[in-house]
Amino acid sequence: MLRIPEFRRMWIQLSLSSLGDWMGLLATTALVTQLQNSFSGQAYAIGSLLIVRLMPALILGPLAGALADRLDRRLTMVVTDVIRFGLFVSIPLIGTLEWLLIASFLVEAVTLVWAPAKDASVPHLVPRERLAAANTLSLIMTYGTAPLAAAIFTMLATISRTLGSSVSFFRDSSVDLALYFNAATFLGSAIVIWGLKGIGRAARPETGPEPGFLASITEGWRYVGHDRLVRGLVIGILGGFAGAGCVIALGRLYVEILGGGDSAYGVLFGAVFIGLAGGMAAGPKLLGDYSRTRLFGVCVTGAGITLVVVAIIPNLVIACILVVAVGAFAGVAWVTGYTLLQAEVSDELRGRTFALVQSLVRIDLLVVLAAAPALVGLIGTHGIHLWGDITVRADGVTVVLLGGGLLAVAVGLFAYRQMDERVGVAVWPELWNAMRGRKPMPTRPRHAGLFVAVEGAEGAGRSTQVELLRTWLAASGREVVVTSGSGGTTTGARLRELLFDPSTRLHARTEALLAAADRAEHVSRVIEPALARGAIVITDRYVDSWIAFQCASRSVDAAELAVLAQWATHALVPDLTVLLDLSADLGMQRRPAGEPAAEPAEESVDEPAEESFREPVDEAGAELLAYRSRVRDGFLRLAQGEPARYLTVDANRPREEIHAEIRAVVASRVERRAVPLGV
Ligand SMILES: Nc1ncnc2c1ncn2[C@@H]1O[C@H](COP(=O)(O)OP(=O)(O)OP(=O)(O)O)[C@@H](O)[C@H]1O
Ligand SMILES: Cc1cn([C@H]2C[C@H](O)[C@@H](COP(=O)(O)O)O2)c(=O)[nH]c1=O
């Protein structure tokens, strides 16, 4: 990574700034105690300093993000570094507690602008596939500079004390030298970043005027709230931090109730950080090409489960081993989540997204650090009598740790569901495959358009609803592509002819492969290019029809067809599948057997063949009715498997009523994708 000159510069800058941050924390906390005489005064002063350092994130976080997205990011970093230099120099020069507190507040406020500008800039300097490695390196420096800062601080304090007797400059305060050194790191950082020409102002979409400052703040919030992936990431990160906050807040008490002392606490604390560092280092390479969104959800959930085990197993040695795993899960999740945010959030929104995440994380930690010990105190220690002589100790620490673990599990699962772009791919087999070093099925990049599939048995009203939807969407001025999921391309139409020709007498697997080929052509030639252009694609039938019909007519396994379909469609899953559900007898009334279907959808290349090649024909119609009922059940089973993606509509209602229901859901999906319709 460090062979990339631009990234190397950024990394040096980050290292200097991080070193400065840690030194600043040490020097200001040391100075604040020197400026007070009494013990209680010193305690209050330290408390005030910590509050003052946390406050800007709560008040100014969103403003800082909007600034980072509007101003030139290189210039923003240079100016903020110079301001921090000036502020740190001013602290020893002015030398009062009041100014120390004001300057600390200002330093934090300025850092809030610097941090999102830095986070949003990294994707401009390294290729997308190396973002994770870049983040690991950055995180190593962010936290790895802490011991270095401590060593330098100790050294400078010793020098000051030694020279204090002979040189008057050092007499007043032994931490002044540390503060000047700290200021110098920021000046160095500004000089380094000045030479970084690859970073500029955030890119804005060419269409539409730039929103005002306040509007751009709410735009950032709305984006985080609406985008499924970002929402999942943010909630996962907050849950992870809440779990970690519980460990930090309760670690000492936990050790104490298990009979340990300070050294055991030290080991426990160290174990978390060893795991964390290991997880961060391993994160980018872990499980090869395994889906990063899934890895994030799995790790947050894994950390939660391990924390639950730590809470319920009252053994210090086991706990010390398990917290390494908690830290490792958290480390992988942090690097992965951070990288996903950088890779998936568009440039013009990235600063605001990072600023919001940073503010929320601080609020989250503040609440957990304050609430966890208070809850422990409230709960106290009780004995729960089970049976005979057996009584279990139920103390506040165990209960709160257990709660923290369960919260992390819930949040991890939620994030997983929100972000999963591999819907339909079983979780455990894929994870197991990745653990054995096998390549996963290809993952899809997120597209700019919206993909809607309309499904339903014969006569359910698909053509009618597709047309109504097309007319409504087209009125908004968006590009709408209507297409047919069976025989929707020139080659697909020829395949469909073959499939519909009763004289071919195809084997079920041959039939499945031909149907797969038809879908592969359709996805790659019609749907994918349209979605990439940002169009709204409506397909009359998609994979579900294939599975429902073939499973009803031949003895094939739906799960096997789903795997084949996933490969054929390049794992393209509709954003919304509308299932028009109609009983088989009503469908028969609307579209009797053998009667030609409606005209093919607009983009279909050839006329579909008219004969229903799989429909059993019997005089009484009982066989046909049973077949169509199986088809209906097949559709319903698919919809039940993924309720979030399906809109199952009772199709035995007036056309306009059905259309209104579909329209409402499509409108909300369009809004979620941040591509407003204006209708
Ligand atoms: N909501 C409705 N109520 C009553 N009749 C309807 C309704 N929607 C559509 N129809 C009628 O039912 C018949 C089938 O409708 P349509 O062609 O839209 O369904 P389809 O699902 O595309 O059918 P196919 O599977 O045969 O292509 C048409 O005669 C249509 O006018
Ligand atoms: C797509 C598809 C269809 N069929 C059957 C279902 C109907 O009876 C006819 C006509 O279908 P259309 O797409 O509505 O024209 O074909 C099938 O058996 N397998 C399929 O994949």
Residues sharing a CB contact under 8 Å with residue 572, sequence separation 6 or more, in sequence order: 444, 451, 523, 527, 528
**β-pairing, 390-395 with 381-387?**
antiparallel
The two tokens of residue 72 are 């030139």
* CA atoms lying within 13 Å on the CB side of residue 562: 16
Q: What is residue 601's predicted lDDT score, i.e. its pLDDT?
A: 42
**β-pairing, 576-581 with 536-540?**
unpaired
Tens of pLDDT, residues 402-434: 999 999 999 999 988 888 766 556 677 777 877
Distance 550 CA to ligand 2 centre (A): 9
Q: What average pLDDT does the chain have?
A: 84
Distance 135 CA to ligand 2 centre (A): 50
Reply yes or no on whether the pLDDT at 66 is more than 80: yes
| pTM metric for this prediction | 0.58
Reply yes or no on whether the pLDDT at 604 is more than 50: no
Mutate which of 486, 497, 623, 638 for ligand 2? The one with the most ligand atoms within 8 Å of its CB, which is: 486
Q: What is residue 609's predicted lDDT score, i.e. its pLDDT?
A: 35
Q: Give the pLDDT band of residue 142 (cuts 50, 70, 90).
A: confident
What is the fold of 1-202? Answer: Growth Hormone; Chain: A; (1.20.1250)
Tens of pLDDT, residues 169-203: 666 666 788 888 889 989 998 998 898 887 777 76
Q: Which amino acid is at 316?
A: L
Reply yes or no on whether the pLDDT at 586 is more than 90: yes
Residue that wins the pLDDT comparison between 39 and 442: 39
Mutate which of 482, 582, 590 for ligand 1? The one with the most ligand atoms within 8 Å of its CB, which is: 590
Average pLDDT over residues 207-214: 66
Reply yes or no on whether the pLDDT at 675 is more than 50: no
Reply yes or no on whether the pLDDT at 603 is more than 80: no
Q: What is residue 99's predicted lDDT score, i.e. its pLDDT?
A: 94
Tens of pLDDT, residues 657-667: 999 999 999 98
Query: Is residue 507 a contact partner of residue 619, using CB atoms and an 8 Å limit?
Result: no
Query: Is residue 239 a contact partner of residue 410, using CB atoms and an 8 Å limit?
Result: yes
Atom of ligand 2 nearest to the CA of 613: 16
Residue that wins the pLDDT comparison between 417 and 564: 564
Burial class, 549, CB count within 10 angstroms (exposed 0-12 / middle 13-18 / buried 19+): buried
User: Residue with the nearest Cα to atom 5 of ligand 2?
Assistant: 612
Distance 344 CA to ligand 1 centre (A): 41
Quick one: what percent of the chain has pLDDT higher than 70? Answer: 90
Distance 136 CA to ligand 1 centre (A): 57
Please tell me the distance from the alpha carbon of residue 367 to that of residue 348, in angstroms, as a whole number. 31
Residue that wins the pLDDT comparison between 440 and 574: 574
Q: How many CB atoms within 10 Å of residue 437?
A: 8
Average pLDDT over residues 146-172: 79
With a 6 Å cutoff on the Cβ, whether 515 touches ligand 2 is yes
Quick one: what percent of the chain has pLDDT higher than 90? Answer: 33
Mutate which of 544, 591, 659 for ligand 1? The one with the most ligand atoms within 8 Å of its CB, which is: 591
Domain 220-443: CATH superfamily, name plus number = MFS general substrate transporter like domains (1.20.1250.20)
CATH architecture of the domain with residue range 450-672: 3-Layer(aba) Sandwich (3.40)
Domain ranges of the chain: 1-202, 220-443, 450-672
Identify the nearest ligand to the CA of 512 by its number. Answer: 2
User: Residue with the nearest Cα to atom 9 of ligand 1?
Assistant: 461
Q: Phi-psi bin for 645: left (phi > 0), alpha (psi -120 to 50), beta?
A: alpha
Identify the nearest ligand to the CA of 630 by its number. Answer: 2
User: Residue with the nearest Cα to atom 12 of ligand 2?
Assistant: 597
Q: Phi-psi bin for 288: left (phi > 0), alpha (psi -120 to 50), beta?
A: left
The two tokens of residue 512 are 């499945």
Distance 238 CA to ligand 1 centre (A): 48
Where b means 16+ CB within 10 Å and e means fewer, 217-254 reads bebbeebbeebbbbbbbbbbbbbbbbbbbbbebbbbbb
User: Residue with the nearest Cα to atom 17 of ligand 2?
Assistant: 549
Q: What is residue 618's predicted lDDT score, i.e. its pLDDT?
A: 61
Burial class, 544, CB count within 10 angstroms (exposed 0-12 / middle 13-18 / buried 19+): buried
Atom of ligand 2 nearest to the CA of 500: 16
Distance 612 CA to ligand 2 centre (A): 7
- Judge whether 1-202 and 220-443 match in fold: yes
Distance 461 CA to ligand 1 centre (A): 3
**Predicted ipTM of the assembly:** 0.96
Q: What is residue 441's predicted lDDT score, i.e. its pLDDT?
A: 60
Reply yes or no on whether the pLDDT at 612 is more than 50: no
Reply yes or no on whether the pLDDT at 293 is more than 50: yes
Residue that wins the pLDDT comparison between 199 and 137: 137
Q: What is residue 207's predicted lDDT score, i.e. its pLDDT?
A: 47
Q: Which amino acid is at 636?
A: L
User: Residue with the nearest Cα to atom 20 of ligand 2?
Assistant: 546
Angle at 199 between CA 197 and CA 201, to 5 degrees: 125
The whole-angstrom distance between residue 83's C-alpha and the CA centroid of its chain comes to 33
Reply yes or no on whether the pLDDT at 495 is more than 80: yes
With a 6 Å cutoff on the Cβ, whether 635 touches ligand 2 is no
Q: What is residue 209's predicted lDDT score, i.e. its pLDDT?
A: 63
